[in-house]
Amino acid sequence: MKLILLGAPGAGKGTVAKLLTKMDGSVQISTGDILRGAVAAGTELGKQAEAAMKAGDLVSDDLIMGIMEERLKEDDCKAGYLLDGFPRTIPQAEALKVLLEKMGEKLDCAVEIDVPRDVILDRLTTRRTCTGCGEIYNVKSNPPAVEGKCDKCGEPVVQRDDETEEAISNRLNVYNDQTAPLVGFYKDEGLLLSVNATSSDAVIDAIKEKTERLMTVTQS
């Protein structure tokens, strides 16, 4: 399956993507994880992205398209992919469309995960992220067994730089202004699936139902 996951920060794109990859062997491609990795490693890309990320602003479309053109050509994408946090602007969505046409590939579906704003705010302020492997925790609902230490890799689990109250509110505004219009874009493309659910299991069920239907349509 080749899916796009749309939704505000904190809507659960990452969690849903991780669950889906376990089910069908596709890879999760998170531009946020790629960028955070580059910042941590101090690469040229990281240096270019750092300030915008810290403020909760978007990194330039050119930079992101450069990353994604390379990433989508890698072998592990052949089994399918889940795009988590990309595209994030109309120009990125248009550039992706051109890129996929060039590669002879087609998206199966763009999933919009729609979660109420108060739930999002609560999640983002209590979210913690592993600095080693990117695993996501929540201080209230899903803390690591040892405080501040990742269950999976043992590295520190921290609050992200862009998870201060100010940066969070900026990220939500950026989402409404620049990313929410993609819902209309993918609706026009006939690819949109909107899921109104706060539990990731419910989101997965809706995606499964839709993609199973898609597969039957393609097979017959």
Q: Taking CB under 6 A as the rule, does residue 12 contact ligand ADP?
A: no
Candidates 50-58, 129-137, 181-189, 198-206 — which segment interacts with Zn ion by CB under 5 A? 129-137
Which of 13, 36, 123, 128 does the annotation list as catalytic? 13
Q: Map the chain to HEC letters.
A: CEEEEECCCCCCHHHHHHHHHHHHCCEEEEHHHHHHHHHHHCCHHHHHHHHHHHHCCCCCHHHHHHHHHHHHCCHHHHHCEEEECCCCCHHHHHHHHHHHHHHCCCCCEEEEECCCHHHHHHHHHHEEEECCCCCEEECCCECCCECCECCCCCCEEECCHHHCHHHHHHHHHHHHHHHCHHHHHHHHCCCEEEECCCCHHHHHHHHHHHHHHHHHHHHC
Q: Of 1, 5, 12, 31, which one interacts with ligand ADP (CB under 6 A)?
A: 31
85 binding partner (options ligand ADP, Zn ion, none; Cβ < 5 to 8 Å by kind): ligand ADP
Q: Of 3, 6, 45, 64, which one interacts with ligand ADP (CB under 6 A)?
A: 64
Q: Taking CB under 6 A as the rule, does residue 59 contact ligand ADP?
A: yes
Catalytic (active site) residue 160: yes
Q: Taking CB under 5 A as the rule, does residue 91 contact Zn ion?
A: no
Catalytic (active site) residue 117: no
Q: Taking CB under 6 A as the rule, does residue 134 contact ligand ADP?
A: no
* Residue ranges binding Zn ion (CB under 5 A): 130, 132-133, 135, 150, 152-153, 155
